Amino acid sequence: MSPAVVVPAVTTVERSAEGNEEAGAVRNNHRRAVRLCLVPGLAIGAVIGVVLAAVGLPVYVAAVVFVVVAAGVMAVLWQRAPGAVLRAVGARPSHEADRPRLHNLVDGLCATMGLPQPSICVVDSPVPNAMAVGRDPGSATLVVTSALDHSLTLVELEGVLAHELVHIKRHDTVLAAVAVSVSAPLSLFTGVPRAAERVHSRVGSGREFAADQRAAAVVRYPAGIGSALAAMLDGPDRSAPWPPGRGRTAALTRWLWIDPMVGTPSSLSMEGNLDDTRVRAEAQTLY
């Protein structure tokens, strides 16, 4: 058999395996997000159901109320979590006339990746960074800081945007938004730092590292991702307040950003953390 026949067959198998892996990631993210939404729904529904039963209402009435409340809380979290995150960080819509390079790159990458164009929002911050949230690709929002566009070269910016679009394609965004919203009330008892680490655990350790690798297969110049991470690490504003916005919800978004290490001491040991920006920048030099 000639090589011309063999190569397409191998490519088809590889693409099929990649498609299966992506579909599995989407299902897994949805299952985990549903479970996260269900926990507070069950807790609130149980409390109300017990109270109703205690005051003398029939058990079946308390049970119905329990189910309705649990389902309602779950639905509200699922629908409103992304918006809550966007409001917390102070995101506002970006207009193409103001940032044509940014919007043009997103258009091209979406066409390459088979994605609908997400909404694009900007957060005022001197720190170059980006994240994405949304229930699905059709409702996703890509968030960039005001410093991102002018701080990176075209190739570097393309790498950052491809990284975030990978999160959108894999539906990482719904799990991320729900994890932050569910963890915000708990931070009252555990403190913000511990709650932020809980968000990191819920969205998945290694999530940013994996998105780097997948984005490198999409962009024209894979080295741009590592170069972008290195530029972020060498930026003059890494001691600026981070994450942007006020309140507990904003503070818990740290592990949703492509560079989650802003504001942390450079001497802090992150051994074993694949999402550490320094680790990922070094890993990109190997490709």
What is the pTM (predicted TM-score) of this model?
0.89
Checking if the pLDDT of 8 tops 50, the result is: no
Of 246, 274, 29, 232, residue with least CA distance to 144:
232
Q: Give CA–CA dist 119/134, Å, rounded.
A: 10
Instruction: Give the SS3 label for residue 206.
Output: coil
Give pLDDT, residue 269: 54
Residue 164 falls in the annotated catalytic set: yes
Of 172, 193, 195, 192, residue with least CA distance to 82:
172
Q: Give CA–CA dist 90/86, Å, rounded.
A: 6
Give pLDDT, residue 115: 97
Kindly list the strands in the beta sheet with 141-145, ordered across the sheet, starting from the edge strand earlier in the chain.
Answer: 92-93, 119-123, 141-145, 130-133
Give pLDDT, residue 101: 96
Checking if the pLDDT of 155 tops 90, the result is: yes
Are 173 and 133 in contact, with CB atoms under 8 Å apart? Answer: yes
Q: Which residues contact 24 (CB under 8 A, 6 or more apart)?
A: none
Give pLDDT, residue 20: 80
Task: Tell me the Ramachandran region of residue 131: left when phi exceeds 0, alpha when psi lies from -120 to 50, beta otherwise.
Answer: beta
Give pLDDT, residue 7: 35
Q: Give CA–CA dist 148/125, Å, rounded.
A: 9
Checking if the pLDDT of 92 tops 80, the result is: yes
CA distances from 220 to 109, 131, 156, 161, 257 (A): 10, 21, 11, 13, 23
pLDDT tier, 279 (very low <50, low <70, confident <90, very high otherwise) = very high
Average pLDDT over residues 95-109: 96
| pLDDT tens column, 11-47 | 554 556 667 888 888 999 999 999 999 988 888 888 8
Q: Which of 18, 164, 197, 282 is catalytic?
A: 164
What residues does 123 pair with on adjacent strands?
A: 145
Among 6-20, 166-180, 247-261, the range scoring the smallest mean pLDDT is 6-20
Are 152 and 226 in contact, with CB atoms under 8 Å apart? Answer: no
pLDDT tier, 152 (very low <50, low <70, confident <90, very high otherwise) = very high
DSSP 270: -
